[in-house]
Amino acid sequence: MNYYQEHKSEFLEGLKAFLRIPSISTLPENKPDIRRAAEFALNELRAAGMTSAELIESPGDGNPLVYAEWLGAPGQPTILFYGHYDVQPPDPLDEWKSPPFEPEVRGDNIYGRGTCDDKGQVYIQIKAVEGLMKTNGKLPVNVKFLLEGEEETGGEHIEAYVKTKPPRLRADAVVVCDTEMFAPELPSICIGLRGLVYYELSVQGADHDLHSGVYGGAAPNPVMAIAEILTALKDRDGHILVPGFYDRVVPPAQKEREAWARLPFDEKEYTEKEMGAKELVGEPGVPLFEKVWARPTIEVHGIRGGFTGDGAKTVIPARAVAKISTRLVGDQQVDESIAQMQAAVKAVCPKGVTAGLKVLSSGAPSLTNPDNPYIHAAAEALKEKFGQETVYIRSGGSIPIVGVFDRYLGIPSVMMGFGLPDDNLHAPNEKFYLPNFYRGIETVARYLEMLAR
């Protein structure tokens, strides 16, 4: 038995302690928990044998970065591990089967907010390094860690920091464990991510709520106006109607399309069991993986306005607010797409109301070349530990920092993720498949061994 097999129960208990900290970055009241989670990660890195471990404070009121390094392998490559210790809010709370911050193992899964996204995967990275250090007293390559606490809110602090190109971040590749495998036994590397611009759309009608009997038929209605704006931005077939929005969309290569078509996939299972939906929607004639990996979208994440309590109240509300986002692909540019969206909202805004579209966060799309040697080695390590050929996939999600690493540090991101498609990210009952947790630790360790020249 090696170190990894001997310490499974310690790994699980350590992960649970990490998960119990409600480090929700979107809620101001959880600010102290954010710091506790950063310090937890810092202590784990020190215990794993990393040096120069410290919190990098934000110049503003941002959340601290966690940095650590081990540079005892001169002449060998340097790997930068990235992950995030913050999590999404847990609401709606009443849909959780066990409390979101009291992790519970049921069957082969551990349930709790952050189990998969991303504390479980950050913990994989730390424990992989710990195992090599405890076993050999050293690492096969140089290793750096940079963990952030604002991934779920837009990651401004890490972006600002990386953009200064600090010498301590010099590395040959970034390893990002924040994506998912295509199927439970199918090792996968993600080579493409969609970009994201997250907006708040607010619409103001009259300056106070109006009686819908007295004024209905003549008064502007901001909820109706939001409905009119949304349906003018995207049609029922999922086509975005924003002028110019598709201009820089690059279709996937024929070879990539063919590889996607060969992926093991049961559409009925995906739709009904994984998503819990009755049917798929979206652009007619576009294959599913192209829809979610290689096509831009507009989604509305939430809306509120007027009276929503029990019973009836006959008001025309003064104001309504929606949270919406665009996902970007190919060569779409964040700034250009924002300008297009703002112009479109202005153009389609109904009579009688004022609409404002405020950007809350943004990140560029990214696409990596699978022939890169750091990606190739990751595919080999995965194949060895999972016993199957690694597939190259994309993700419809967004990890804005990947584009920033590419642009400012000039290094590729190796997106070696251990999540599964049904892990309920950002939703109630988030989980992590424990066999992947343990195999993930061993895979990352094996990857570092393979990188040694």
Candidates 8, 168, 211, 407; binder of a copy of itself (CB under 8 A) is 211
CB distance 25 to 118 below 8 Å: no
**CA torsion, points 89, 64, 78, 394, in degrees to nearest 10?**
20
- Minimum gap (Å) between residue 65 Cβ and a copy of itself: 19
Q: Examine residue 94 and tell whether it contacts a copy of itself (CB under 8 A).
A: no
Candidates 300, 338, 343, 450; binder of a copy of itself (CB under 8 A) is 300
The CA-based diameter of the chain, rounded to the nearest angstrom, is 80
54 vs 209, beta carbon nearer a copy of itself:
209
Q: Which helix (H) or strand (E) holds 203?
A: strand 195-204
Q: Examine residue 208 and tell whether it contacts a copy of itself (CB under 8 A).
A: yes
Residue 439: C-alpha distances to residues 85, 159, 244 (Å): 21, 31, 45
Candidates 356, 421, 449, 450; binder of a copy of itself (CB under 8 A) is 421
In eight-state DSSP terms, residue 96 is -
Q: Examine residue 209 and tell whether it contacts a copy of itself (CB under 8 A).
A: yes
- Minimum gap (Å) between residue 297 Cβ and a copy of itself: 4
In eight-state DSSP terms, residue 295 is S
The interface with a copy of itself within residues 394-413 (CB under 8 A) comprises 395-398
In eight-state DSSP terms, residue 201 is E
Candidates 12, 166, 215, 406; binder of a copy of itself (CB under 8 A) is 215
126 vs 344, beta carbon nearer a copy of itself:
344
The interface with a copy of itself within residues 179-198 (CB under 8 A) comprises 180, 194, 196, 198
168 vs 211, beta carbon nearer a copy of itself:
211
Pairing label, strands 413-416, 173-176: parallel
The interface with a copy of itself within residues 314-373 (CB under 8 A) comprises 314-318, 320-323, 325, 327, 350-352, 354, 360-361
Q: Examine residue 313 and tell whether it contacts a copy of itself (CB under 8 A).
A: yes
Candidates 167, 264, 285, 312; binder of a copy of itself (CB under 8 A) is 312
Pairing label, strands 51-56, 65-70: antiparallel
- Minimum gap (Å) between residue 253 Cβ and a copy of itself: 19
Burial call 58-83: b when 16+ CB within 10 Å, e when fewer: beeebbbbbbbbbeebeebbbbbbbb
Q: What are phi and psi of 288, to 5 degrees?
A: -50, -50
- Minimum gap (Å) between residue 51 Cβ and a copy of itself: 35
Instruction: Please tell me the total number of residues recorded for the chain in this structure.
Output: 453
- Residue 29 CA to residue 86 CA, distance in Å, equals 14
Q: Examine residue 88 and tell whether it contacts a copy of itself (CB under 8 A).
A: yes
Candidates 158, 391, 425, 451; binder of a copy of itself (CB under 8 A) is 425
- Which range of residues in 31-39, 127-135, 147-155, 434-442 is near a copy of itself by CB under 8 A? 147-155
The interface with a copy of itself within residues 150-179 (CB under 8 A) comprises 152-154
38 vs 87, beta carbon nearer a copy of itself:
87
322 vs 377, beta carbon nearer a copy of itself:
322
- Minimum gap (Å) between residue 27 Cβ and a copy of itself: 7
CB distance 377 to 367 below 8 Å: no
- Minimum gap (Å) between residue 94 Cβ and a copy of itself: 12
- Residue 315 CA to residue 216 CA, distance in Å, equals 9
- Which range of residues in 47-55, 218-226, 256-264, 330-338 is near a copy of itself by CB under 8 A? 218-226
The DSSP string of 17-57 is HHHTS--BTT-GGGHHHHHHHHHHHHHHHHHTT-EEEEEE-
- Which range of residues in 25-33, 128-136, 250-258, 442-450 is near a copy of itself by CB under 8 A? 25-33
Pairing label, strands 173-176, 195-204: unpaired
Q: Examine residue 60 and tell whether it contacts a copy of itself (CB under 8 A).
A: no
126 vs 329, beta carbon nearer a copy of itself:
329
Task: Categorise residue 290: left if φ over 0, alpha if ψ from -120 to 50, beta otherwise.
Answer: alpha
Side chain identity at residue 75, one-letter code: G
Return the ∠ at Cα 443 (arms to 437 and 448), rounded to 5°: 135
Q: Examine residue 31 and tell whether it contacts a copy of itself (CB under 8 A).
A: no
How many residues contact a copy of itself, by CB under 8 A? 100
- Minimum gap (Å) between residue 141 Cβ and a copy of itself: 31
Q: Which residues pair with 324 in a beta bridge?
A: 199, 300
CB distance 320 to 306 below 8 Å: yes
The interface with a copy of itself within residues 109-128 (CB under 8 A) comprises none
Candidates 219, 338, 343, 450; binder of a copy of itself (CB under 8 A) is 219
The 3-state DSSP class for residue 200 equals strand
Task: Give the per-residue contact string, 259-298, with a copy of itself (x = CB under 8 A; - = no).
Answer: ----------------xxxxxxxxx----x--xx--x-x-
Q: Which of 76, 54, 235, 227 is nearest to 146 (CA)?
A: 54
- Residue 135 CA to residue 124 CA, distance in Å, equals 16
